[in-house]
Structure 1
Amino acid sequence: MWIRALQAVLDRGIRQGRLHVRFPDGRMGSYGPGAGTGPEAQLMITDPALPRRILLNPQMALGEGYMDGGLSFPSDDDLRGFLQIAARSAQSGRLPLPMRLAHGLRVRTKGLMQWNTLHLARRRVQHHYDIPDAFYALFMEEDLQYTCAYFRDDAMTLEAAQAAKMAHIAAKLCLRPGLRVLDIGCGWGGLALYLARAHGVHVTGITLSQVQLEAARSRAAAMGLSDRVAFRLQDYRHVPDRFDRVVSVGMMEHVGVPQYQAYFDKIHGVLAEDGVGLIHFIGRHTPPRVLSPWFQKYIFPGGYAPAFSEVIPRVERAGLVVADLEVWRGHYERTLRHWQQRFRANEPRVRDMFDDRFVRMWWYYLIAAEVSFTDMGMVLFQMQIARRSDAVPRVREYLYPAPGDDQRPSDTA
């Protein structure tokens, strides 16, 4: 019964591409128009309980089915193609009414899932980031930049693109020696150390991950920068100091919409009168949606990628000025492809550190994240903010100086 019901859903819902499915009882089915209308993919369902679970909670069941081995694909391209077909089909409006109603309920109650008390915030960060940094080093570059790289040209390596990202952020912060910088969500300290070393500023980095804190402090000591960079285990809501600059890279996705006002109010409160901030975060160019329940459970509990319409009212109410907004398209999917290649190359080492289920979970995450950018409207926002509209140059040439004529404010260091 459940297989027939799932076949009916696939037959009605797949409107682009072509999906070939082998069901647990050995039956085969092909769905979608094919003929150049989208990706083509094959999958095998071997768990007899999975068709029912897919019908009741498709996003959770698909992710868990892949993790547990009850759902498999002949190749990585098949997994990618299937997720692209699924993403496009979900947006077609042709899914069964119960699935649409369940999705609508998740959208309306997403604020409850994103409510972030101090205790919850720390626990959620620990879930994803208190994994040994040796694991992250297997698929990131040496500096451990776990955020979108900036590919100024297609030939750039991941290392070069991550360095370009940090230089671009530094330029937007309009740095000069001696300024005090707050790095909210500093990770393993790479950006803070770069800013101190390259621009002569004093940086305070805050994180809720004990593993990241220890790694960042160790790196600062090894580089001889402990006198210019301080790392704390601290929630942004508890920062008492004042700073000339505030930067937050890849952290706002963990704040949660109910806390956005407190987040931007705090940034306004810690910024000097002529201060400048740079918020670098994943968002979407679509109306507000909701994060997959599988992502919420296994990858980023409480995480969310907002529409800009959910952000700007809070910025305005905090008394901050949006001085510049840049939308990165195509950069994160390229970053993820680099991570995927390195993860695959080191898969045996990951398996030795964890187990097969962990490997499949992370691989599904890396591919699904890529598809969220290629097919689900995700983008990367860089929002430059200030307390005064004249705190940054009026024109953007300072961000892109001509060769031999570098006039970036940050290069006065």
Structure 2
Amino acid sequence: MSERVTNWAGNIVFNARSVRRPASVDEVQEIVAGGGPIRVLGSGHSFNRMADTDGTLVSLADLPRVVEISADRRSVRVDGGIRYGELAGELHRNGLALHNMASLPHISVAGAIATATHGSGARNKNLASAVSSIEFVDGSGKPVTVSRGDADFEGVVVNLGALGVVTALTLDVQPAFELRQYVYDNVPRASVDEHLHDMLGDGYSVSLFTNWTGLDISHAWLKRAEPLGDEWYGGHLADGPRHPVPGMPAMNSTEQGGVPGPWHTRLPHFRMEFTPSSGEELQSEYHVARADGLAAIDAVASIRTQVASVLQVCEVRSIAGDELWLSPNYRRDSIALHFTWIADSDAVLPVVGELEQRLAPLNARAHLGKVFTQTPSTIRSSYERFADFQELVRRYDPAGTFRNEWLDAILG
């Protein structure tokens, strides 16, 4: 392959023999009909070889942008290459909003949904929960549409790219709204022990950050409609803008200080117009049942010296449960612990393995788009509908057009 393609962080160089950028759904069908192996690359914001292939790597970035708002203004149909930042701006201009966004508006909608990526909020489900219809080209090159209420729907949405090339999605929308963003420094660990669930529920979206050099929360980010005061659970209102990762420029972050603003300029941590960081990082994330959130925090604290030695920042968030088969929030309200590591796999992987051992008694589900060492059998046993998903893969891609080594290991 003459073109060198890497993921966003640069820790993965893809092995594809060719890279295709179809400009229409017809072209997508032609590529798939030509045979595999094929994998689809979204915005590249994954940290393992999920999207890798030794065949054809397909990018949907050149598909014509589609933002079709329904007549009743309750849904929007979008193309498979659009990014959240692009979609959010267009929705807001039409007085509409998504229910939530991830930390980065730079990620592709289809890619984020395929891996059950999420924002935060005790009452907010992950981003994939907004999908009401999904259109994809299956392993034979045939276009397929599956909609909410169809028998396969809950299995098809979070799909790991295993079922086909997603060419369009229909998402639920709601009226646009405003939020304020506050950051509080140095929230004591005692407050977390006594009030964790109240803290994570005290806003539309709440994130707690720590670098684990100590037990306190370095800073808490709250996104909510109502104003707040100078103190929050023992933390003090930040005296200026902050960036989640220590040492990174705060100008890349969305506006803070309690200034009201449109939903899409407050829900993400980072501004669309700036690169959120240098990409010199690895990431891991684990979801546990909400009731086990404090136990999960204690598990990390038990090896915090090891964690801190390779960590940039850890974020704790809450996500509401859903019915999507391969969602880490499947049928359980969850707390997620997200780790942004240094860009050194040799140093990070042993810590990830030890962390997973500490979290294993809590049935921690790994975010499959990030770095993990859990065995495929552990992953399969974490999802009660995994065997049903395997059957979907056999049905929609019987020839293995979309398989790769990573997916073979996960699916068995």
Give the TM-score category using the shorter length: under 0.3
Pick the structure with more helix per residue.
1
Larger radius of gyration: 1
Pick the structure with more strand per residue.
2
